[in-house]
Amino acid sequence: MKKKYTVDKNQKLNTNTPILDALKSAYESPSYQFHIPGHTKGSGVLKEFKNLIGTKALKIDTTDEFDNLGTLTPPTGAIKEAEELAAQVFGAERTFFLLNGSTIGNMALAMGITRKGQKVILNRNCHRSILSGLIISGAEPVWLIPEKLDEWGLWGSINPNTIEKLLNETDNVGAVWITNPTYEGVVSDIKTISDICKKYNVPLIVDEAHGCLWNFNSALPTPALKLGADAVVHSLHKTGGSMSQSSMLHIAKNSMLDINKIEKSLKLLHTTSPSLILLASLDAARANLSSEKGQNQIEKTVKNAKYLRKRIDKMEHIHQLKMDFGFKTDITKVFVKVDGLSGKRLESILEIDFNIEVESASDIGALMLVNIGNKRSEIKYLADCLEKITKTDYSNLFHLENKKHMPMLTPKLKYNLREAFYMDKEIVKKENAICRISAEVIAECPPGIAILLPGEEITTEHLPYLTDYEEIEVIK
């Protein structure tokens, strides 16, 4: 059968692992250590912790500068080499390895490419890290409202015409910044959006935090770097197989962006003691995805997702978000809703009765990720459990939560994000917060989409999303 790899066929895939190799050689030839980290190869940690994590993990827990491991800021040695290999396979001009996740990538982009007084055309369901970046830079969002999938309680895809309209109406736009895919896997038409941005000479940033596998298999959507985006963030740790917190920021070839400014912003934000374990895991994830074995894993993942979706299609009383609805989706992200059960209830039944932990759940449905690490037997078990649930009468435990999860409101901003963030504040009881102006970002993680923004007027419409909060910080 024809392989579905999308990495350039003429490009020799490089599975070298410079950071991993350097770390292995430091492990094999240990030095007398009179530097950080102070636990000194694990000698100074609690025994129970050492037993849990393993002595080897502690022996390789080190930071850059030492033992010829290179440096992250600026990239030198093995770290520089590994970033270059990542740039090669993702087709970027420059790739930065990120600790503190795609969060720091979004913040560095906002700081590096936007400034006070500028506008950023930004989808309402963006991740809170972009807001953090704009609070620092002082640029203001112009809200781009995607399609609303009301019966799913989710945001849908972005209509490129809406972007063109906003670009037409707005002066001094520093960037168009969109999330693709959404957390639940809805995909927008990036090619058309990118062509529009080019026509208006405005850079396009794509938060592709959940889409790093796309580069490696054509059954998945086309990655934004291949469709004309100027910069992209990838949470390799979410779906690509690296360790938690490790991500990549790619700047496109022929990008309109000033790489130096982005690098300077990253320097302001990044730790000065990067974990070599996390960096090596990024190096290893890129090498794995580039390898024959890794590509077979992705192919299997796609097949597993197709299998799960086929099984769900055959069940009664369960519905899945899929591309028949007029937009593309990433098939590995399976959002389902079950008749008569809220998503939260479904999540707790899966957890308590079947020992299954899903990615997230809302008042409407639950999101399950089919990962490169999942075996077919696990997918079958999940499908069997879903089938059992759909055949069980749960009406006796039918308490619907009164909490809503995905804010679908268009924010009424009274002050700019940065202005509001630095104004004098006070804490008031939630009941007294109506008609006041929020001073903070309130966002539930996942998915990290803001319910309230600094500077936004609080209305009764916000209340169903704020059931977990007794007090709100407002502007004095």
Ligand X SMILES: Cc1ncc(COP(=O)(O)O)c(C=O)c1O
Q: Which residues bind ligand X (CB under 6 A)?
A: 101-103, 106, 127, 129, 179, 183, 207, 209, 235, 247, 446-448
Task: Kindly state the smallest distance separating residue 307's Cβ from ligand X, in Å.
Answer: 26
Nearer to ligand X, 179 or 295 (CB): 179
Nearer to ligand X, 157 or 390 (CB): 157
For residues 361 and 347, what is the distance between their CA atoms, to the nearest angstrom? 6
Taking CA atoms, 249 is separated from 229, 325, 328, in Å, by 12, 31, 24
Task: Kindly state the smallest distance separating residue 130's Cβ from ligand X, in Å.
Answer: 8
Task: Kindly state the smallest distance separating residue 63's Cβ from ligand X, in Å.
Answer: 20
Helix or strand holding residue 471 (H, E):
strand 471-475
Nearer to ligand X, 176 or 209 (CB): 209
Helix or strand holding residue 343 (H, E):
helix 343-354
Contact yes or no for 221/6 (Cβ under 8 A): no
Task: Kindly state the smallest distance separating residue 185's Cβ from ligand X, in Å.
Answer: 11
Nearer to ligand X, 228 or 448 (CB): 448
Q: Establish how many alpha carbons lie within 13 A of residue 208's alpha carbon, considering only the half-sphere containing its beta carbon.
A: 33
Contact yes or no for 377/349 (Cβ under 8 A): no
Nearer to ligand X, 242 or 295 (CB): 242
Residue nearest to ligand X (CB): 101
Task: Kindly state the smallest distance separating residue 406's Cβ from ligand X, in Å.
Answer: 13
Bridge partners of residue 232, in order along the sequence = 206, 250
Task: Kindly state the smallest distance separating residue 236's Cβ from ligand X, in Å.
Answer: 9
For residues 232 and 87, what is the distance between their CA atoms, to the nearest angstrom? 12
Task: Kindly state the smallest distance separating residue 118's Cβ from ligand X, in Å.
Answer: 21
Task: Kindly state the smallest distance separating residue 67's Cβ from ligand X, in Å.
Answer: 28
CB atoms within 10 A of CB 475: 19
Helix (H, G, I), strand (E, B) or coil at 407: coil
Q: Establish how many alpha carbons lie within 13 A of residue 192's alpha carbon, considering only the half-sphere containing its beta carbon.
A: 11
Nearer to ligand X, 179 or 217 (CB): 179
Contact yes or no for 67/26 (Cβ under 8 A): yes
Sequence-ordered alpha helix ranges (H) in 200-342? 259-269, 276-290, 292-314
DSSP state of 80: H
For residues 242 and 235, what is the distance between their CA atoms, to the nearest angstrom? 9
Please classify residue 423 by burial: count the beta carbons closer than 10 Å to its beta carbon, then call 0-12 exposed, 13-18 middle and 19+ buried: middle
Nearer to ligand X, 179 or 390 (CB): 179
Nearer to ligand X, 207 or 347 (CB): 207
Task: Kindly state the smallest distance separating residue 229's Cβ from ligand X, in Å.
Answer: 14
Write out the E strands in 50-129.
92-98, 119-123
Nearer to ligand X, 235 or 265 (CB): 235
CB atoms within 10 A of CB 47: 7
